[in-house]
């Protein structure tokens, strides 16, 4: 087979695979949003905030790759749901720390339990080898989907 034809075929296959993955993730996340009343963005923020130490809103924004004002709005929405507590720094009143509340941890644990149960129940329909391959590929997803460094202006205008 011609090398260029192989690349086109591979590109078509990869794009079809990405659409299938996107469709599955989209429906999975929509179900979680309906069932738990929390969007994917809020859930992701909760996973970033979760940990042994409080995070600043700036750290949340950096980790999520979003502007500070958007991270502030996310924290406000989580605070309205009683999922996070905010603490102002004693040294610098401009610095606000966020941490999960007991209710926030309970919600996060329930979502993660649901995800685990769903995946494990669905894995009953595949072989042990397929399960091992799934774990191996899933472990590589961050590297496979890593975003290269880019100029924000290019992304903003679709160049």
Least confident range from 31-45, 97-111, 143-157: namely 143-157
Range of the domain at 20: 1-36
The pLDDT score that the predictor gives to residue 136 is 93
Q: 99 in helix, strand or coil?
A: strand
**Is the pLDDT assigned to residue 158 strictly greater than 60?**
no
SS3 (DSSP) at 29: helix
82-105 pLDDT, tens per residue?
Answer: 999 999 988 998 899 999 999 999
Helix, strand, coil shares, percent, the chain, to 5: 70, 10, 25
pLDDT at 51: 80
Total structural domains within the chain: 2
Residue 6 corresponds to which tokens in the numbers above?
Answer: 């192989």
Residues 122, 60 share a domain:
yes
**Same structural domain for residues 13 and 45?**
no
Q: Tell me, yes or no, whether 18 and 61 share the same domain.
A: no
Q: Calculate mean pLDDT across residues 2-8.
A: 66
- The answer, yes or no, to whether residue 31 has pLDDT greater than 80, is yes
- Let me know whether 25 and 70 are in one domain: no
Q: What pLDDT shows up at residue 147?
A: 80
At 26 the pLDDT is 95
CA dist list (Å): 97 to 71, 94, 117? 12, 10, 32
CATH number of the domain within which 103 lies: 1.10.10.10
């Amino acid at each position: 087979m011609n090398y260029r034809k192989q690349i086109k075929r591979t590109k078509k296959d990869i794009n079809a695979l990405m659409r299938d993955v996107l469709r599955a993730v989209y429906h999975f996340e929509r179900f979680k949003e309906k069932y738990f009343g929390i969007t994917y963005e809020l859930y992701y923020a909760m996973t970033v905030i979760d940990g042994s130490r409080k995070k600043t809103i700036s750290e949340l924004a950096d980790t999520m790759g979003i502007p500070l004002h958007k991270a502030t709005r996310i924290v406000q929405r989580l605070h309205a749901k009683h999922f996070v507590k905010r603490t102002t720094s004693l040294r610098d009143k401009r610095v606000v720390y966020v941490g999960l509340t007991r209710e926030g941890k309970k919600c996060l644990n329930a979502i993660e339990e649901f995800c685990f149960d769903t995946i494990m129940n669905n894995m009953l329909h595949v072989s042990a080898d397929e399960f091992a391959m799934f774990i191996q590929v899933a472990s590589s997803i961050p590297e496979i989907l890593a975003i290269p460094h880019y100029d924000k202006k290019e992304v903003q205008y679709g160049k």
